[in-house]
């Protein structure tokens, strides 16, 4: 392509920089005008790396009257109206505050952040030992300096609290520090023009929602469902040149590229209806032109790996997980909410329209599903000093060369490392939620193997519907399609007979019909040994 493409704002969270560098900008300013015109004190929750900081810096530029930055955007007319008024803005970003090094340092860091903000605004605030008192003085003195009401924008208001989610006693002390800060918003109501707090969830105990009874939570509003994130239409409109260039380099059509991107990076939803691409992953993909797990690897893996291990969680237990509207709006405190609440707030699960309940939870896309699957199975293996990398490499070689013996050997290494008794509760829950006709052991074997495949990054489907039933697993790698049926031989049952039954079922129920020359494999797991002791493989039609 000869056409000069606009720069990608990868890693840039400041609206002014994005516009001055003439980067791609997905215009969301019509929503911001609407928010400003129809309310005054707001809260907005979204997962990390979803554009909250860019939203706040855009609002900051709007209130400060930086009209030159809005040429050609929806907010241009609003900013050029005759009665437009500039307002002084306090923008705090609590992801800049030092945490996990003691509460004294956290408090000192928070105070320094307020002092630094005051310095940038050329406002003098007196010495104090309380971040709340400093915040008070900053609001009042800024109001006096400009003789205009003040705009307060607080980004990641819950970040210090979340950092202590696994230390309940310390988290309570952090809560007190933050509550002392946020309560000052109500105390200074007469000096405030507009307030917006962002974070990943609504934590009642931080004192924001009990004290600010006039606060409007727009997190699940249909009107603002696309305020952050990229819709399919926005992707096609704003990234057309990048799509064409990337498709050309990957030697696929533009439509094929969009379909694959949708599968991997789309799917986040905050009202159960509209689906959104993750902005960070989308930008990173266009930069690298490689389908990788960008969002997950940008800072969440350590925290979530620890959580999954401590809670004995599986991947499959959260597929199509039914939840009520009250849960979707208020999933609870992060340190006490059930696992589905924790994963939902962190962005690892997202909303879908429910069937029996108001909503269902599920993984947004393959990027998140595969990363979660890898963490779970990696934990199994590394807890027993088995190498995840070696197992993955051996599996991929076996799939490519159609080496069923090695394929089974790798799965047995996985099965040998799973502490099944730890996951009985998860199995029973998932079987009940999905009305599966399985024992807990059957579900655990199948879901563990499926998670391993997902974590290895192969194209894989579980419970894929055919005309006569559902196959356990269908996977694709380097042009080879494997159709896999799993049977468990319990006490006094023959593994050999179970393997025959499994492969026979593939053909009787036409699981292989959509895939000419599929490799059909029946696996029999001896429940006593917790190993695949028999298998049958048939290439193509039987």
The predicted structure's pLDDT at residue 376: 82
CB count within 10 Å of CB 225 equals: 21
Nearest one of 372, 376, 414, 400 to 532, comparing CA atoms: 414
Could you give the CA distance from residue 38 to residue 42 in angstroms, rounded to a whole number? Answer: 11
Nearest one of 357, 273, 277, 281 to 322, comparing CA atoms: 357
Could you give the CA distance from residue 115 to residue 117 in angstroms, rounded to a whole number? Answer: 5
Query: For 491-539, where are the alpha helices, taking DSSP H only?
Result: 495-508
- From the number of C-beta atoms within 10 Å of its C-beta (0-12, 13-18, 19+), residue 11 rates as exposed
- Span 402-461, pLDDT tens digits: 999 999 999 999 998 888 777 777 778 787 777 777 788 888 899 899 999 999 989 998
The predicted structure's pLDDT at residue 469: 67
Could you give the CA distance from residue 348 to residue 81 in angstroms, rounded to a whole number? Answer: 42
* Bridge pairing between strands 192-199 and 150-155: parallel
Nearest one of 412, 415, 213, 201 to 327, comparing CA atoms: 201
Q: Which residues contact 250 (CB under 8 A, 6 or more apart)?
A: 257, 289
* CATH level 3 topology of 15-224: Rossmann fold (3.40.50)
Going 67 to 72 to 77 to 78, the CA torsion angle's sign is negative
- Span 120-159, pLDDT tens digits: 999 999 888 889 999 999 999 999 999 999 999 999 998 8
Beta partners for 91? 153
- From the number of C-beta atoms within 10 Å of its C-beta (0-12, 13-18, 19+), residue 463 rates as middle
The predicted structure's pLDDT at residue 311: 81
Contact 140, 77 (CB under 8 A): no
The predicted structure's pLDDT at residue 424: 79
CATH number given to 385-539: 3.40.1350
Residue ranges per structural domain of the chain: 15-224, 232-292, 385-539
Strand stretches in 163-281, DSSP E: 192-199, 216-217
The series of mean pLDDT values per 10 residues for the chain, 542 residues long, is 80 95 97 96 91 97 98 97 96 92 90 96 90 95 97 94 82 87 91 95 66 81 95 97 96 96 95 94 95 74 72 85 88 78 88 84 94 84 77 95 96 88 77 78 89 92 69 92 95 95 94 91 95 91 59
Structural tokens at position 389: 């990398």
What's this model's pTM, rounded to 2 decimal places?
0.89
């Amino acid at each position: 392509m000869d056409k000069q493409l606009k720069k990608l704002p990868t890693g840039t969270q400041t609206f002014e920089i994005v516009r001055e560098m003439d980067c791609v900008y997905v215009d969301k300013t019509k929503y911001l005008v609407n928010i400003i015109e129809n309310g005054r004190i707001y809260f907005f929750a979204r997962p990390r790396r979803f554009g909250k900081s860019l939203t706040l810096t855009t609002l900051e530029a709007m209130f400060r009257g930086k009209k030159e930055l809005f040429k050609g955007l929806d907010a241009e007319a609003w900013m050029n109206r005759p009665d437009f008024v500039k307002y002084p803005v306090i923008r705090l970003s609590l992801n800049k505050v030092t945490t996990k090094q003691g509460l004294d340092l956290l408090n000192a860091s928070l105070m320094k952040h307020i002092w630094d903000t005051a310095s940038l605004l050329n406002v003098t605030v007196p010495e104090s030992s309380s971040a709340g008192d400093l915040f008070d003085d900053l609001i009042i003195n800024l109001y006096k300096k400009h003789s205009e009401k003040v705009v307060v924008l607080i980004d990641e208001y819950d970040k210090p609290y979340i950092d202590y989610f696994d230390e309940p006693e310390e988290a309570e002390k952090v809560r007190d520090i933050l509550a002392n800060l946020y309560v000052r918003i109500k105390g200074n109501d007469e000096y405030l023009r507009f307030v917006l707090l962002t974070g990943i969830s609504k934590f009642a105990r931080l004192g924001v929602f009990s004290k600010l009874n006039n606060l409007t939570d727009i997190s699940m509003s249909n009107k603002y469902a696309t305020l952050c994130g990229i819709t399919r239409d926005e992707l096609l409109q704003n990234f057309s040149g990048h799509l064409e260039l990337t498709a050309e380099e990957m030697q696929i059509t533009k439509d094929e590229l969009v379909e694959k991107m949708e599968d991997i990076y789309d799917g986040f939803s905050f009202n159960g209806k509209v689906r959104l691409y993750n902005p960070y992953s989308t930008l990173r993909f266009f930069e690298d032109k490689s389908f990788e797990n960008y969002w997950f690897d940008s800072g969440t893996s350590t925290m979530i790996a620890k959580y999954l291990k401590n809670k004995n969680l599986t991947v499959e237990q959260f597929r199509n997980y039914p939840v009520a509207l009250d849960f979707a709006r208020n999933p609870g405190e992060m340190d006490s909410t059930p696992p589905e609440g924790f994963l939902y707030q962190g962005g690892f699960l997202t909303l879908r329209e429910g069937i029996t309940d108001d909503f269902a939870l599920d993984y947004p896309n393959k990027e998140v599903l595969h990363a979660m699957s890898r963490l779970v199975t990696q934990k199994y293996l590394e807890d027993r000093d088995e190498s995840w990398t070696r197992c993955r490499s051996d599996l991929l070689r076996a799939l490519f060369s159609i080496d069923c013996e090695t394929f089974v050997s790798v799965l047995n290494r996985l099965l040998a490392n799973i502490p099944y008794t730890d996951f009985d509760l998860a199995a029973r829950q998932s079987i009940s939620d999905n009305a599966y006709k399985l024992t807990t052991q059957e579900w655990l074997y199948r879901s563990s193997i499926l998670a391993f495949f997902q974590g290895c990054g192969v194209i894989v489907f579980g419970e894929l519907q055919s005309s006569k039933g559902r196959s356990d697993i269908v996977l694709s790698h380097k042009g080879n399609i494997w159709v896999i049926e799993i049977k468990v031989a319990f006490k006094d049952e023959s593994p050999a007979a179970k393997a025959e039954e499994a492969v026979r079922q593939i053909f009787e129920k036409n699981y292989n019909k959509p895939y000419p020359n599929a490799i059909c494999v029946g696996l029999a797991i001896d429940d006593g040994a917790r190993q695949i002791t028999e298998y049958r493989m048939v290439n193509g039609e039987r």
